[in-house]
Structures are given as C-alpha cells and as structure tokens.
Amino acid sequence: MKNDLTVFEQLESEVRSYCRSFPTIFTKAQGHKMWDVDGKEYLDFFSGAGALNYGHNDPNMKKKLIEYITDDGITHSLDMASTAKKDFLTKLNDVILKPRNLDYKVMFPGPTGTNTVESALKLARKVTGRTEVISFTNGFHGMTIGALSVTGNSFKRKGAGIPLHNTVTMPYDNYIDQTSDSLDYLERYLEDGGSGVEIPAAVILETVQGEGGLNTASPEWLKKLDSICKRWGIFLIIDDVQAGVGRTGTFFSFEPAGIKPDVVCLSKSIGGYGLPFAITLIKPEHDAWAPGEHNGTFRGNNMAFVTATEALNYWDDPNFEKSIQEKAEKITDFLEGLVKKYPEMDGYRKGRGIMQGISSNVEGFSEKVAALAFEQGLIMETAGADDEVFKLFPPINIDEDALQKGFEIIEEAVRSVAKENDLVTS
Amino acid sequence: MKNDLTVFEQLESEVRSYCRSFPTIFTKAQGHKMWDVDGKEYLDFFSGAGALNYGHNDPNMKKKLIEYITDDGITHSLDMASTAKKDFLTKLNDVILKPRNLDYKVMFPGPTGTNTVESALKLARKVTGRTEVISFTNGFHGMTIGALSVTGNSFKRKGAGIPLHNTVTMPYDNYIDQTSDSLDYLERYLEDGGSGVEIPAAVILETVQGEGGLNTASPEWLKKLDSICKRWGIFLIIDDVQAGVGRTGTFFSFEPAGIKPDVVCLSKSIGGYGLPFAITLIKPEHDAWAPGEHNGTFRGNNMAFVTATEALNYWDDPNFEKSIQEKAEKITDFLEGLVKKYPEMDGYRKGRGIMQGISSNVEGFSEKVAALAFEQGLIMETAGADDEVFKLFPPINIDEDALQKGFEIIEEAVRSVAKENDLVTS
Amino acid sequence: MKNDLTVFEQLESEVRSYCRSFPTIFTKAQGHKMWDVDGKEYLDFFSGAGALNYGHNDPNMKKKLIEYITDDGITHSLDMASTAKKDFLTKLNDVILKPRNLDYKVMFPGPTGTNTVESALKLARKVTGRTEVISFTNGFHGMTIGALSVTGNSFKRKGAGIPLHNTVTMPYDNYIDQTSDSLDYLERYLEDGGSGVEIPAAVILETVQGEGGLNTASPEWLKKLDSICKRWGIFLIIDDVQAGVGRTGTFFSFEPAGIKPDVVCLSKSIGGYGLPFAITLIKPEHDAWAPGEHNGTFRGNNMAFVTATEALNYWDDPNFEKSIQEKAEKITDFLEGLVKKYPEMDGYRKGRGIMQGISSNVEGFSEKVAALAFEQGLIMETAGADDEVFKLFPPINIDEDALQKGFEIIEEAVRSVAKENDLVTS
Amino acid sequence: MKNDLTVFEQLESEVRSYCRSFPTIFTKAQGHKMWDVDGKEYLDFFSGAGALNYGHNDPNMKKKLIEYITDDGITHSLDMASTAKKDFLTKLNDVILKPRNLDYKVMFPGPTGTNTVESALKLARKVTGRTEVISFTNGFHGMTIGALSVTGNSFKRKGAGIPLHNTVTMPYDNYIDQTSDSLDYLERYLEDGGSGVEIPAAVILETVQGEGGLNTASPEWLKKLDSICKRWGIFLIIDDVQAGVGRTGTFFSFEPAGIKPDVVCLSKSIGGYGLPFAITLIKPEHDAWAPGEHNGTFRGNNMAFVTATEALNYWDDPNFEKSIQEKAEKITDFLEGLVKKYPEMDGYRKGRGIMQGISSNVEGFSEKVAALAFEQGLIMETAGADDEVFKLFPPINIDEDALQKGFEIIEEAVRSVAKENDLVTS
C-alpha cells in the first residue's frame, strides 16, 4: 500500500504535526494543486503557511533552477560571494527596494524565519546597548530561544523548558476592546519612570498575526507605534516572514502605513520556490555588525538565490499588486457573506489581503470546517490560541476559477458543520 | 568587470565574513573544485565548513535532484508526509541506524545546525524537568540564543546583547593539561551539593571541536562522560553537525567510543548536496514531544530529502569508511611531517579523521598560511579563538591526486611564512 | 563645632541620601520630636518612612527594653526559641490575628522589609511550582535582587547592574485613567493563552504605594484582584511594610477590602521602637517551608520582640483605630483645603489614612515645600518618580496640637513657594 | 509548664530550624553562658553563628546601651546623620582602618549579611559595567536572590524557585585535590576567549567558609587570586561576615594574606552585641553610588552603632589579637589530639582561628556529637553539605576555664559516639 503512514509513525518523532491534520502522503505539486500517492488532487489554500505565495513549482523558477543545477552552479558557499547571490542582491534592490525608496542593507542569516528574527534582536540590542524587547500579544516569531521569548503562545513558550527573559508583552491593536487605544498603555509605561518597564532596544511585531489568529494592526496604529519608537530611540522591527512578499496586497505588509521600519525580517516566500531562505533588512545606519558576529552554514543557499531572483520578476509587472488586491476583495466579500449566511457559526471575518479567515465562537467549529474541506480536497489551516480561526491562504497568483472552487468547498463545509445540533458557544 | 565585489559592499550587511577571506566571486563547482567568474580554479579544502563532505554537486545526487524537480516533486511541505521524506526515513534507518544497532526517532527541526541544537536542548529540559545544561570550553553550537548559550566563544556570546543563562561551561578533554582528567572536575561538581552547579538536564558537546580549534575528546573520556551522564540521569547530546557524516572516519563521530548518546544533532553534510537540512535523532524513550511543540516552516525541505537519500548510498559500500580512514592517516602523516620540518612554525597537529590541522604558536602564522594558500588556489579555513589553527577540510571522498596537490600548496605556503624574519611566539 | 558633617563626607559612602535632605546631626528624640546636636527641635512628619508609627522612644517600650537589657535577657538567638519570642508570638496572635479571624503562621526572615519580600516570593514560587510574579506599576518592595525585580522605579532597577527577571508589571488601580479598569488588562492577559504572560506564582502589591507616590488601590479593586488570584491559584501577597501597623487607620491596610491575602509582609513599625524587625505571615496551608530553607543571622532580634510585644498593647484599646482615623480625616481636610487655597500649586491630594500628601504638577514645588518646612523645623519627605509628592507621615499617635503645628508649618511653606514667580507646570 | 515549645509549633512557620536542634526556650545569657527557662546553664560554643564574638551581653556595651536608651538617644534615623553614627565612623576609622593602612568608605546597607553582599555585587557590576560574578564552591553569602546566586548550597539554591543567573562557580582552594592549584582553572577560563566564561565584574569569597564546612583559603592562594583580579580589573570582594571581626585571629580574616580587597562585607559581630548591623567597606575610587541608589529602612540602627563603637575598644589593646591566636592554637591542639585519639571518627581538623572543627567521614557522627554535647550543656553547630563537620565557635574572648570545660564535653561526646557499633563510613 503506497499511502501508508506507518513509516512516519515508526521512525519520525512525535513532534510531527501537520501530517496529523492532513493524513496522506503527498508526492507532486503544481501551482495551487497538490497530489498524493493515490493520485488524489488537492486545492492548496494553505501555501506552506505562506512559504508558497507563488504556488508550487512555478514554471519559470523551475526552469532557472534546473539550468543552474545542470550547469554545476555553486550550491553551497557559506557567505562567500557568488554570482547567484550577486544577481539576487541586484534584483532585490532594483525591483523592490529602490522603487519603494528603501536603502536597506541585506543580511543573510540562517535560512529560516526564526534565524532572521534572532539576528534582528541581536542587532537591536547591540546598537542601542539595551537589553529588553517589547513584543505583542499573540505575536509569533519562531521557536529558537531568542525568537520564542518574543512569541506569545503559552504552549510554545513552555516548550522552552526555561523561563524566557528580557522581553515584555504589550497589547496588540484592539487587544482589550475597540474603544481604548492599546498604545496608550505602551506610552504610559515608557514615560513613567516607575512603571517597571525599561526603555527597550526594540519592538517587534507582525502587521497581521498569521499564527496568532489573523489579528491586524491598523495603519494609524502602526504609524503611532513608529512615532513612539522614534521618540525613544527604539528599533521598530517588522517581522514580515508570513505577511510579507505580497501576502497582504503589497510587497511589504507595512507599506499602507507609510512607515520605514529599522529592520525587516523576511523568509518563507522570499525564496519564491519554497526553498529555505531568509533575509534581514537593515537600515544602513544600523548596520553595526562585526564580520561574522552572527553566522550560519546555510546562509548562502544559492538555489534559493536563483529562484528568489526569478520570483521578483512578478513584481516588475505594475499590475501584480492590483491583481492580489482584487482577489483579496473577493475573499473579503465571500467571508462577509458567509458570516451573514451562517449565523450558527457565530463568526466574524479577520485578517486582510490574501490572509483572511473566520473566527468562530462555536467550540471546534473551525477545526471541523477545515477537516471537512480536506476530505473534499482542500487544504486549509486553522489558527489562533484555540484554533478558532479557519484561514484562507491560497497562492497570491491563484486564478479566478480555482479561487471560486475553493470558496465552494469551504461554504459546503461550513454549511455541514452549521447543521450540527450540538453547537456550543465558547 | 565581472569579478567586482562592489555589489556586496554596497548592498550586503557588514556581517558578511568568508567573502573577506576569499575575495572573489564563485560561480561553479564540481567535486573538490570551485571556479570563480574569472575562470580561476580552486581546490576546496574547506568543504563548506563540513557541509560538503561529498564534494560539490555530486553527479548522482545531481541526477536525482534534476529528475525530482523536473517531475514536479513536492518542494515544500512543512511537516506533511511526502514520498521524498518517506524514502529518506527508510534509507537512513536501513543504511545507518539499524546496522549500528541504533533505534533513534528522527525529528526535523528548521534546516540549520543551530535549530537542531535548540530542539535538543528543549527536549532534554522537558524530559528531565531540569533547566541547566553543561557545555564545554571551546564548544560551538550555533548563533540563536539557546544554542549560543552553550557556545564558548566570547565574541559570539557578546553578540547576544544579553547575558546568557542556564548553562555552565566545563573543561573539555585535556583543557588544563594532559595529566589531570578534566572529568574529575565535572564529577566533583555534580557530587558536591555545595558546588553551586545543579544536576543538569543535559551535557552537549562535539567529539571534535570544529570551530573551537580541532580539540578532540578521546574515546575513554567520552565513555567516562557517558557513564557520568547515566549515573545522574543527564541527557548526553552529541552535536555531530560538523564532525558527523563521515568526517572523522565513521558515520557518527562517537562510534569509536562505543557510546549511544540520548540525542544526536546532525546538519551540514547530512543533506549530501549542501542544501539546508538538519535532523535531531532521539532515543525513542525520550521522544516526549507534543505535536508541534517545536516547529518551523522549512523542516520539510524535500529537495534535501532527495539528495540526502542518494548520499546515503555511499554508506552501502563497506569500504567507504576505510577509504576515509586511509586518507585521514595520510593527512596525519603529512601534518606531523610538516610540524617537524618547519620548527619555525612552533606548531602541533590537532584533530582527527579528515578534520585535522596545525596549531601554530606563532602569532598570525596560520592566517598567513591560509591566505597564501588561497592565492595559490586552495581554500582553507582557520579556527580557534585566535585563528591559531589552519584546518584541512577536503571532501571525504577526495581523490589521492587532489589530496597530494593540496598538501603541496599548503607546504609551500608554510615554507614561505616560515622564512619570514619577524615571527613572534605568542 | 558639633554640627559638622565632615566626618560623614569623608568616611561614609556617596550612597547616603536622607542626610543630604536633612543636613544636621540628630542626637535625641521623643515621641514626635527630634533634636539635633545644636539643640534645635524638629517636628517629625516623616516617622522613619513609616518605621516609627508610635513615635520615637515610646516610654512604655523604653521601660520594657531597659528592663530586658538590664536583666541580661537574650539579645541574639538566631531562630532558637526564647521567652521574648514566645511572648511576641502569643501577643500577636491574641491581639491582632485572632480578633481579625486570621490564622497566619509567622515566619521571621532577616529583619528588613526586603528580606520579608524575598521570603514571600520564594514561598509562592515553591508552593505553586511557577516562576513568574506579577507586580504593579510604581510598586516598591526593596533593594535586594528578588525584591528589586518587583519594584517599578527605573533608577533603583538599573542599580541592579543586571536585567531583572521572572516578573511582569501590570497597571495599578487607575494607572491609565479613571474610567477604565486596569484589572481588565490583567484578566485578559491571564485568560489569553497567547498573551505571552504566564500564569504567575504570585501578585505582590502595596494597598497604598508609599514610595511610589501615595497611589491607592480601592477596596473594590483589591476585592476583584483577590478573586482573580483565587480563580487562577495565584498567591496574593500584600506588602504591608509601610502601609501596615495602623498607618492607614486599621492594623492591616487591606482590612477595609475584606480580603485575606495568602502572605502578608510586615516590617518597619511592627517592631514598635524602630528596631530592625520583619515578619512574614503565611496562611497555614501554604507553610511548605523545609526547616532552614530560608534563614538569616538576625531573624531573632529579641530586643525587637520585646518592644514589638509592648507596642501591640496599643491595639488592646478598641478606640485606638478610631483615633487614627479621626486624625486621618483632619489631614484629609487640611490637604483638600490647601489644594483649593493654593491653585498655584496645581496639586491634588493623594493617599489615605496617615499616609497622605499632595502631588503638585509644578516642577520642584513639593521639594521646595519640604525644604522650607525643614528650615522651619518640620521633617517631611517627598515621594513619587519625580519627587512630585510631599508626604505627611507623622506618628499615628501624634497629639492634636502637634498635628496642628505641623499643618501650620506646611501651609506656610506652601504659601511661600506659591508666591514664587517662575513656577513651571511639568 | 514554662519550657513548652507548643507555641512555636502552633504559631511559627515550619522554616524555623535551630530551635529543632536545640529544643529548649532560652531566656538569659551572659558572656559564654546561656540559660533556659528551667534554669539549665549552657556553654555557648556557637556564638550566634559568629554574631557574638564578644559573648552575650558584654557588660561595657550593655552599660553604654542602657545609658543611650535612657537618654532618649535616637533609635531609628534611616541614613540621617546622628551622633551615634558619627562616633562609630570615627572609631572604626581610628582603631581599625587607619592602623591597617586602609582607607575604605563605609556604606550602611540593610542590617544583615545578605544585604551587604547584595550591595557589594551591585556596586561591582555598576563600576565595571559587567554582569557576571564568580563565586566559589561551598561559598555561602545569603538568602536573598542576589546573594543566593553566589551561594553554593543546592538546597538553599533550590529554595529560590527560579534559576539563578549571572554567576559562575569556580573551585575553592584545594577543591579537587591538594596537588593541583584550583586557580589554574580560573586563570585558564579567563585567558581563553573560548571558555564560555566572561570576564566577571567581581569574585566573591570567604577566606574561611563558615557554612560550607570550614574550608580555608591559604594566604598564597588569596594573594594569587588578588593578582588575577588586578590583572583583569575584577573586583575582589571578601565576605567577612562570619570570618571577620577577630574570628580568625586578626580583625579582618584576609590580613595574613597581605591583600586589600576592593570591597569587604561585614555583619554579624561588627555590631558587638548581637544587634542587626552590617557595613560594606569600599575602596574610595570605587565609591560610585548615586545617593539612595541602594537603600533600606534600618541602615541606621543607632543602638548597634553604640555597641559597635564600644566593641571596638577591644581592639585598642594590642594584646587582643594575640590572645585570640593563643586560644586558636589550643583549639587546634585539642582537635588534632581528638582526631588521633579517636580513629573511629575517621576525621580531620578543618578551619583556622576560633573557627575550627572536625570533619568526620562517618555518617551522622558529627551530628551525634553535637546532639550529645547539647544534652551535656554545650551548644555547638554542624556545618558542611552533609553536616559532616562539628564546629567550635566559642566567643573569641572566652576564658581558659570555659574553653577547657567545652573541650571536655566535646571529647566525652566523641568518645560516646565512637563507641557505637554501627559506624558507617560514607
């Protein structure tokens, strides 16, 4: 039997997780489609948790990648100079940074999201000479001890096995209620020499909290936060690992707020093809690293340079952002409609861009929706502290038909769950 | 001008380092050879700091990789089940674990060395319910805060910007002198309820310290450490990221000591082709993870599964280990000869397997040797707290001729530096 | 010249502070009066920052103390049993605990406020098995590292020289504004598994913040906090070092709220005569200490047992509390009148009981008032992060005339400062 | 029944300890004698763990104290200037500091040993700008978190309930064996940039470890440590709380080594009469405190100033030190004799000055000796991680007869225990 998960049960650690929600063996993928070993086709509304914004195995990137490998292009080069790296740096600057009037220096940490976050925290502490970092409720920044210390989730934090230090959690936008401004809290703490909260080296946040339940920070809130940071000489670090690279409708998620963070963390889709890759963007005046002060074996993943460079061609097209935004509106409309049509769900729409979902107050509702959808061939994740949100994360270049097909499967799943008799509002 | 490093100076962060020691733009590589954009050929005695034990772009792996990409094999799958992953798990078990009578469960952390170390530390703390971890002088385990806290190097540690906690450094084998047993210290600290050192969750160490200057732990010392760990219920974690995968002459570096660590960290060459990859091997009785308790976007790097699986074919051949060991002996002989022949170097041989070098007591000697060698087309790194060691790290499957050619370049470089008049013993 | 401070300048450390605000050499004291070496008399509205609630050298205590010393009563006994200690335990139980339906066990830590706080924090962590402690903005609990970690003042915290860990500061009653309930913030953090704030071992607070600027927690707020603590199994620790022993009008400051804290910290006036003394009151079900787990050389200060026992006689008189409360009302009336009469002060009344003062928004106003008052023979302290509060802290048994005399000096000082032309509102 | 401990069992916390070893109620004391409520007389070979070096209720101090109280001398004055304090500062300088060519500034922290240690650690961190502190195996410095973090005892450390940070334990003199120099270990760690041990702010140690089992540091070892500290700009902090004030035969315990520590911590007997008191002596060039940066309510314990000043009169007599040293020799002779005479004890002498004892390798031997001695009217403590040491701590001014009487009781107790049949060597 080909689709037998026994090998994983026997040989892989209990820590494995997504294979439990999506219990089949995948073997092939293209664009928004995946196939398992039984040949069953799936519509991917998950996109590697944001690592596959351009879908699976994009043909242009694939071509470039095969050429590169065929020609014995350098695969691994630590942080030596390579043509693939040079091309990436140049393209990133030409297509993304310069047009947005950004002059960031590019750092290559280890090729994962948590590594770019760790590098950002270190740099902020070094430059400011301060130790504390402020993060926000329900933020998610990674699993290594530095990144975990700024992550809110208590299950993940307990995994550290040690108390996590040098961080303070402040309330994210609209955390307590819609009427009070959560930044008033932060400001009061900073201004009051008796608050017990030191002026920090940095604040770190996502503009949309991908793992934390699709909470969004408004442009006004971000602007105000930015001005607080400037006032106190605090690094503003935007972790755009999940919300960046077009996911919210612009390349960087913070563009609508008109701010220029001191440091930007990118990973996931910056590599284009789903290859491990991460970069840390640093304002030149903060680039105070000593050579090799933060390093790592795979910071020079040349295959990822190749696909990342090719991926940036999408952004040459001035209509690309618009097309994402149009799809985002369709998703918004679909979800708003769903909320109205199925009051049994007791839900509300969250998120923005192609990073939206529904939070249901009914216990287990969202998980059931995701499970039913999977049976019907759609892969979709839940998020939030109690998995109360189901989350639409299709590729940002998905076509209209596939999007509609996904909507249908989801609505059908919602309809089924809504019919159940024993719904309990939590 | 093609070989122009200006782009890197302008756009890349100051943190870049190896491109400063090897200032050229590399573009192509095959086996033990690399070429820069000017077509100059280099003999690679560095091997990506141990990430390229099988050399660059191994033809068999390359073939499999191109086939996989061409067929739209899954590239990115988080930790969902995939055929590529299944094949890797099966092959690893069949070729490496079972024959060595090891029944480890395999965990896939983020694909870098520091991520596997972080996962190992978390697990040890969770299972034992203790917080402290003992590491050893001059150990190197990574740059994220958890891994950095068990790393000895003070420059790297300061980079944290915060005090590093929950760790104690004990003296590595032969740290103080050759006559006293450094484990006596450790034992005394554990036995004495007044020592100020708690019984730790784990000890973590490399059997050969790759970055720390090629210090080696003897099999007897490792055996004794293992028995101390068993006595006190301490996890023995071997970080085999650099010394593993054949680098010392056996697949795991600890095999000659006849021990079975509780956890083994592997990265670098486990992927075979230089692609980002890391695994954490865990004794089944310790596999106490909750699903998703430690996770990461790129823990399912399927291209690395493909090349890693192919790479393990090397180990099907019973003569492979022997061939490595023979080469290691040649390196030993060459280095011992060099030490005798050039007393001006005031050096001594260090390391074992294909992980040897010379530590020179003359200030700057080793750095000059490496620089001269580079001019002559050989890439070689220095190690140790003061870069006092030059380090021979060719691929473990390098052929005889290339090895000899490397020896010649190195000897010539040593000869040149030895002739200088102003040598100062530090 | 007798009143020459040169010796202090030459031999005492720069850390000395009150002798700078009150630059004279004191030599004698009785009740609410102090005299310096020049024979100048001072009215003491400071009372050793709450350590002299019964005034200086109370005649009854003095008599008992001299008898005890004369008879060679045990002076120092570590924590061995002594008759003086037995008498104190019995009296405390009979006069204070039993009548208030409290069955606390009594612990004798080192004889200072910070030591009782340290013991309380340790016990809470031990019993709950948790590490974090929640304190409140502008709380003050002591100068040793454990107590300092729950103290808000940034100047004091920086004195630690190391980051302070395992604590979270929450907003005290009315911290942000009068309309929102600051406990909503705390509750949300505890309820939300993604808040980044762990369920703590304890919350620690003063019901009136003596050093933090005379902020007061309302009975309702305390009751709600108590119920939150009960819900989550969190130790409620009331630090009654300054506000306890009658200072607010009842023996314990928390009596009006009708709560029974898990742990109560007492020091300062519990000794009666100003001798070093501290006790930690512990609910019997939490008395999980192992013998000697927390100790100290001077936990058996027998002279303080003697005076403390005698002091409790005040509380035999059912009218004693009433008399304090009447004086408190007079102080309230006086201060409210002052605020109205001198709008130049831009002040408002703070605190409760005989622990009240005026916070002036005019830069330096309160400091000037205190300085002028000192010139006129009244000793009075300022408090708050910017010393913006002047603080009336006479003995709680001060007589009517002395109180009036103090009022006059203070009003005269306020009048003088209010007349200045260059008042700047901060 | 007067000698009834029920009150303590009912009302005092389980943390009480010495009253368990010495289960009687003491009521009166004079010199080396104590009496319980039954009138039973005890010979005190414990001296309040070093807080009563001059014995109980010294007649001269008693006289001065009664006079002071009778005259309404200031009892409590925070850190305001008082005549009692002035007299103490002057006397300390004239009799102790100047004759020893020491120019320390005097700081008054809270009146306990742990408070002076906390102040010393803070200052060292402030002046050096470093965070780490090196302490030594089996050191004991106090129970508050800062002091506890440099204390070796694991039972005490666990009491913290949190991991203790920013400290490293190094081996005390002769920790591993008599042949190797434990400072080689420390030096190697400091010199090696890869050791994982930062250059610390301070080292802190006792020259004789009172609680840790009477281990002694030789003058040579101390001199070498002092020179290491000077070389690296590390504060040398001598915690002379127990070993100071004549206990070892000189006023400061470090005098024989000819060193001048940067900071000296004194408490216990510096007050003379057993009243809570502590001072921190600081080299003037390090007195970098801001006013009030470290404070405390009882730092101005004027009664202790009075007795401390009177106590220093002992040191006016040039023969005082000599008399202590002669007694110390007698104790040495007695203990050496005992070791030889009772091989069943399997013991050896430890300590120096009037701070000596015997460590027995026989399980429970020392505890039994102390218990038997108590029955015979001699109070004596055990020390060491397993209470393996019984410790002779009579007043340093004890007379010859009392000393001999103590010897007799102890020998009788040793003889009895040695006769037991079931002695087990641990």
* Residue count of chain C: 426
- pLDDT, mean of residues D57-71: 98
Q: Give the pLDDT confidence score for residue B42 in this predicted structure.
A: 98
**How, if at all, do strands D105-107 and D279-282 pair?**
antiparallel
Please classify residue A38 by burial: count the beta carbons closer than 10 Å to its beta carbon, then call 0-12 exposed, 13-18 middle and 19+ buried: exposed
CA D331 to chain centre: 18
The token duo for A64 is 């470039």
The token duo for D221 is 């070892």
Which of A47, A53, A80, A116 to substitute to test the interface with B, most B CBs within 10 Å?
A80
Q: What is the mean pLDDT of chain B?
A: 96
Q: Which of D105, D159, D296 sits opposite C11 (nearest CB)?
A: D105
The torsion angle over the Cα atoms of residues A216, A217, A218 and A221, rounded to 10 degrees, is: 170
Report residue A412's pLDDT band, with 50, 70 and 90 as the boundaries: very high
Q: C26 and D113 in contact by Cβ < 8 A?
A: no
Which of D80, D83, D90, D93 to substitute to test the interface with C, most C CBs within 10 Å?
D80
Cα separation, D408 vs B104, whole angstroms: 65
Cα separation, B21 vs B17, whole angstroms: 7
Question: Chain B contacts of D210, Cβ < 8 Å?
Answer: none
Q: What is the mean pLDDT of chain D?
A: 96
Q: Give the pLDDT confidence score for residue A1 in this predicted structure.
A: 63
Interface C-D, measured as beta-carbon pairs within 8 A, has a size of 374
Q: B196 and D132 in contact by Cβ < 8 A?
A: no
Search chain D and give the residue with CA nearest A161: D163
Search chain D and give the residue with CA nearest B189: D137
List of residues 6+ apart from C101 with CB closer than 8 A: none
Cα separation, A50 vs A244, whole angstroms: 9
Q: B154 and D180 in contact by Cβ < 8 A?
A: no
Share of chain C above pLDDT 90, in %: 95
Question: Chain C contacts of D18, Cβ < 8 Å?
Answer: 78-80
Q: Which of C138, C168, C193 sits opposite A153 (nearest CB)?
A: C193
- pLDDT, mean of residues A397-426: 92
Q: What is the mean pLDDT of chain A?
A: 96
Q: B163 and D385 in contact by Cβ < 8 A?
A: no
Cα separation, C104 vs B275, whole angstroms: 64
Q: Give the pLDDT confidence score for residue B423 in this predicted structure.
A: 79
Cα separation, B399 vs B412, whole angstroms: 20
On whether the CB atoms of residues A110 and B241 are closer than 8 A, the answer is no
- Answer whether D162 touches A (CB < 8 Å): yes
pLDDT per position as a tens digit, C366-382: 999 999 999 999 999 99
φ, ψ at C358 (rounded to 5°):
-125, 130
pLDDT per position as a tens digit, B58-90: 999 999 999 999 999 999 999 999 999 999 999
DSSP helix/strand/coil, A124: helix
* Secondary structure, 3-state, chain B: CCCCCHHHHHHECCCCCHHHHCCCEEEEEEECEEEECCCCEEEECCHHHHCCCCCECCHHHHHHHHHHHHCCECCECCCCEEHHHHHHHHHHHHHHHHHHCCCCEEECCCCCHHHHHHHHHHHHHHHHCCCCEEEECCCCCCCCHHHHCCCCCHHHHHCCCCCCCCEEEECCCCCCCCCCCHHHHHHHHHHCCCCCCCCCCEEEECCEECCCCCEECCHHHHHHHHHHHHHHCCEEEEECCCCCCCCCCCCCCCHHHCCCCCEEEECHHHHCCCCCCCEEEECHHHCCCCCCCCCCCCCCEHHHHHHHHHHHHHHHCCCHHHHHHHHHHHHHHHHHHHHHHCHHHCEEEEECCCCEEEEECECCHHHHHHHHHHHCCEECEEECCCCCEEEECCCCCCCHHHHHHHHHHHHHHHHHHHHCCCCCEC
Question: Chain D contacts of C25, Cβ < 8 Å?
Answer: 81-83, 86
Search chain D and give the residue with CA nearest C286: D13
Q: Give the pLDDT confidence score for residue A161 in this predicted structure.
A: 96
Q: Which of C194, A209, A148, A118 is nearest to B294 (CA)?
A: A148
Q: Which of B324, B336, B283, B280 is nearest to B141 (CA)?
A: B280
CB contacts under 8 A, B 287-316 vs D, are none
CB contacts under 8 A, D 240-269 vs C, are 241, 267-268
Cα separation, B22 vs C331, whole angstroms: 78
On whether the CB atoms of residues B297 and A269 are closer than 8 A, the answer is no
Q: C163 and A132 in contact by Cβ < 8 A?
A: yes
On whether the CB atoms of residues B7 and A105 are closer than 8 A, the answer is no
The token duo for A102 is 């950004």
Share of chain A above pLDDT 70, in %: 100
Q: Give the pLDDT confidence score for residue A177 in this predicted structure.
A: 77
Search chain C and give the residue with CA nearest B162: C163
Q: C292 and D17 in contact by Cβ < 8 A?
A: yes
- Answer whether A161 touches D (CB < 8 Å): no
On whether the CB atoms of residues D401 and D392 are closer than 8 A, the answer is no
Which of D2, D13, D107, D133 to substitute to test the interface with C, most C CBs within 10 Å?
D13
Cα separation, D285 vs D303, whole angstroms: 30
Q: Give the pLDDT confidence score for residue B3 in this predicted structure.
A: 87
Cα separation, B74 vs B87, whole angstroms: 13
D394: left (phi over 0), alpha (psi -120 to 50) or beta: beta
pLDDT per position as a tens digit, C101-156: 999 999 999 999 999 999 999 999 999 999 999 999 999 999 999 999 999 999 99
Tell me the angle at which helices D400-418 and D320-341 cross, rounded to the nearest 10 degrees: 20
Question: Chain B contacts of D151, Cβ < 8 Å?
Answer: 196
Q: A162 and D163 in contact by Cβ < 8 A?
A: yes
Residue with tokens 């002694």: D216
- One-character DSSP codes across C352-408: -SS-EEEEESBTTHHHHHHHHHHHTTEE-EEESTTS-EEEE---TT--HHHHHHHHH
CB contacts under 8 A, A 68-97 vs B, are 69-83, 85-86, 89-90, 92-93
What are the distances in angstroms from CA C189 to CA A199, C226, D210?
21, 16, 46
Fold of D75-316: Aspartate Aminotransferase; domain 2 (3.40.640)
Dmax (CA) for chain B in angstroms is: 67
Q: Give the pLDDT confidence score for residue D420 in this predicted structure.
A: 86
Cα separation, C355 vs C394, whole angstroms: 8
Cα separation, D104 vs C268, whole angstroms: 30
List of residues 6+ apart from C276 with CB closer than 8 A: C111, C112, C298, C301, C304, D110, D111, D112, D275, D276, D298, D301
Q: How many CA atoms lie within 13 A of D285 on its CB side?
A: 5
Q: B162 and C163 in contact by Cβ < 8 A?
A: yes
- Answer whether A129 touches C (CB < 8 Å): no
Q: Which of D281, D128, D307, D112 is nearest to D202 (CA)?
A: D128
CA D84 to chain centre: 25
Tell me the angle at which helices D83-91 and D302-311 cross, rounded to the nearest 10 degrees: 30
Which of A112, A198, A269, A273 to substitute to test the interface with B, most B CBs within 10 Å?
A112
Q: C162 and B163 in contact by Cβ < 8 A?
A: yes
Q: Give the pLDDT confidence score for residue C273 in this predicted structure.
A: 98
Q: Give the pLDDT confidence score for residue D384 in this predicted structure.
A: 87
Which of D145, D154, D178, D215 to substitute to test the interface with B, most B CBs within 10 Å?
D154
Q: B105 and A13 in contact by Cβ < 8 A?
A: yes
Q: Give the pLDDT confidence score for residue A421 in this predicted structure.
A: 74
Burial A129-142 (b: 16+ CB within 10 A, else e): ebbbbbbbbbbbbb
- Answer whether C60 touches D (CB < 8 Å): no
* Residue count of chain B: 426
pLDDT per position as a tens digit, D139-176: 999 999 999 999 999 999 999 999 999 999 999 999 98
C154 CA: distance to closest CA in chain B (Å):
18
B426 CA: distance to closest CA in chain D (Å):
13
**Helices in D256-319 by DSSP H: which ranges?**
302-311
Report residue D385's pLDDT band, with 50, 70 and 90 as the boundaries: confident
Question: Chain A contacts of D162, Cβ < 8 Å?
Answer: 163
Q: Is the pLDDT of residue A209 over 70?
A: yes
Share of chain C above pLDDT 70, in %: 100
CB contacts under 8 A, A 311-370 vs C, are none
Cα separation, D379 vs D26, whole angstroms: 12
- pLDDT, mean of residues B146-170: 96
The token duo for A38 is 């039984």
Beta bridge partners, D102, equal: none
Q: Which of D29, D419, D371, D359 is nearest to D214 (CA)?
A: D359
Q: CB neighbours (10 Å) of residue B92?
A: 23
D177 CA: distance to closest CA in chain A (Å):
34
Q: Domain coordinates of chain D in residue numbers?
A: 75-316, 319-354
A166: left (phi over 0), alpha (psi -120 to 50) or beta: left
Q: Is the pLDDT of residue D110 over 90?
A: yes
Q: CB neighbours (10 Å) of residue B424?
A: 9
Q: Which of A22, A66, A149 sits opposite B66 (nearest CB)?
A: A66
- Answer whether D127 touches B (CB < 8 Å): no
Residue with tokens 């300054």: C242
Report residue D1's pLDDT band, with 50, 70 and 90 as the boundaries: low
Spans of chain C below 50 pLDDT? none
What are the distances in angstroms from CA C402 to CA C33, C245, C296, C378, C411?
9, 21, 40, 11, 14
φ, ψ at B85 (rounded to 5°):
-70, -40
Q: Is the pLDDT of residue B209 over 90?
A: yes
On whether the CB atoms of residues C328 and C243 are closer than 8 A, the answer is no
Q: What is the pTM of this model?
A: 0.96
A32 CA: distance to closest CA in chain B (Å):
12
The token duo for B104 is 């480890």
DSSP helix/strand/coil, C279: strand
DSSP helix/strand/coil, D243: coil
Search chain C and give the residue with CA nearest D92: C11
Cα separation, D113 vs C296, whole angstroms: 8
On whether the CB atoms of residues D258 and D219 are closer than 8 A, the answer is yes
CA D116 to chain centre: 13
